[in-house]
Amino acid sequence: MTPRILIIAGSDSGGGAGIQADIKAVTMLGGHAMTAITAITAQNTQGVDGVHPIPTEMVIAQIDSVVRDIGVDAVKIGMIGSARTALAVAEKLEELRGIPIVFDPVMVATSGAALADDATIAAFERLMRICTVCTPNLPELKALSGMSVVDKAKQRESAQSLVNRRGCAVLVKGGHAKGRQVTDRLFAPATSDHPPETEWTNARIDSESTHGTGCTLASAIATELAKDWSLVEAVTHARRFVRMAMHEAPGLGGGHGPMGQQGVRLDLNLSRFSPMLNQVTVPASDLTASEHFYRALGLKQIVQSKPRYARFETEGGATFSIATDESYTGPVVYFECGDLDTAVTFLKQQGIVFEQEPADQTWGWREARLRDPAGNAVCLYQAGEQRRFPPWRINDA
């Protein structure tokens, strides 16, 4: 069943954040996006020119209308508009028992413009008490907790205080911290089934196209929770989606530009058991000649490792590789799995024999290998951004 995601947030006229980013994320992840718009903003990549809050009664009317007819599997809350609306939304959502709620406590736009006053921020407490997970960045964590976030220890103390006081999980986004690595940390209540603390670290993506990262992340988490992934799994998938969308940013505007959610197509198989065909490798005897041939066909070369290997990107996001390794005696078909280890365990229970158990590779993929009844080589794997955007991707690809 298509996940039904109710988005309660403001509109961004520039299309980079807010409702617009939410709809793009939910849609690309296979969900149906429904909206209750809390505010209309006049903004672009360089700043916010105006904010017009929607009356509280109209916000609640939007929620009632879609829930009554279509139903809802998860909720994402972003820019809330006013303290009165925050309290009314919290009261309304308390009626949706058992529905996961992701609260992104939007206070300041990427450009620096304030999107919530003190009274509205104070009302966030009520929303945090009903949400599944709250997703503050470091400045928002400081504002919500009233505590210092100058280092990892202080951030942990601040986040844990919110978990203890509000009862929800807290995902602290580390993008505002300095350094070449970005670390996000999830803190879960002691009463939950999740580990008390989970950490993700990736290399920072050098980009000014960061408008809407928080909105996109929260909507992606909500969509994945609606598919019955655990909170840790949902965050893992959502972070991968955000990073791919940053890689795909179209470079629009003169400030903090929008991301490229629309470009994330064959990069994220988020199904436990249904593999996605998105990569094929064929043998080559002369790498240079084969490179020239496939570039002439119109493929975009994204990896070159002479004299052994080259990878190309095709329209739509599938990749294709050539290899001179003696191990490649014929084509290898690659199917990406949302959860490789679970898929392999399931297939072995069905009698499928594997030549190689799931194993991490030096090029950043996790692979398991087998053959079909005709002897054709098949690889089940997970790669995420490493497939199309590895650190060694050709810069002028």
Q: Is 15 a catalytic residue?
A: no
| 78 catalytic per annotation | no
Instruction: Given the residues 215, 260, 379, 384, select the one marked as catalytic.
Output: 215
- Active-site position among 14, 18, 214, 260: 214
Specify the amino acid at residue 270.
L
Catalytic residue status for 215: yes
Task: Look at residues 185, 187, 162, 163 and name the one whose alpha carbon lies nearest to residue 175.
Answer: 185
- Per the annotation, the verdict on 227 as an active-site residue is no
- Number of residues written out for the chain: 397
CA distance 119 to 138: 20
In the sheet that holds 32-44, the strands lie side by side as: 47-53, 32-44, 4-12, 74-77, 101-103, 133-134, 169-172, 181-187, 197-203
**Cis peptide bond upstream of 391, omega within 30:** no
Distance CA 179, CA 181 (A): 5
Q: Among residues 38, 213, 223, 281, which one is catalytic?
A: 213
- Within a 10 A sphere around the Cβ of 215, how many other Cβ atoms? 31
Q: Cite the beta strand spans of 13-135 per DSSP E.
A: 32-44, 47-53, 74-77, 101-103, 133-134
Catalytic: 214? yes
Q: Are 123 and 86 in contact (CB under 8 A)?
A: yes
Q: How far apart are the first and last CA of the chain?
A: 38
Among 24, 76, 142, 173, the active-site one is 173
212 catalytic? Reply is yes
Residues known to be catalytic: 173, 210, 212-215
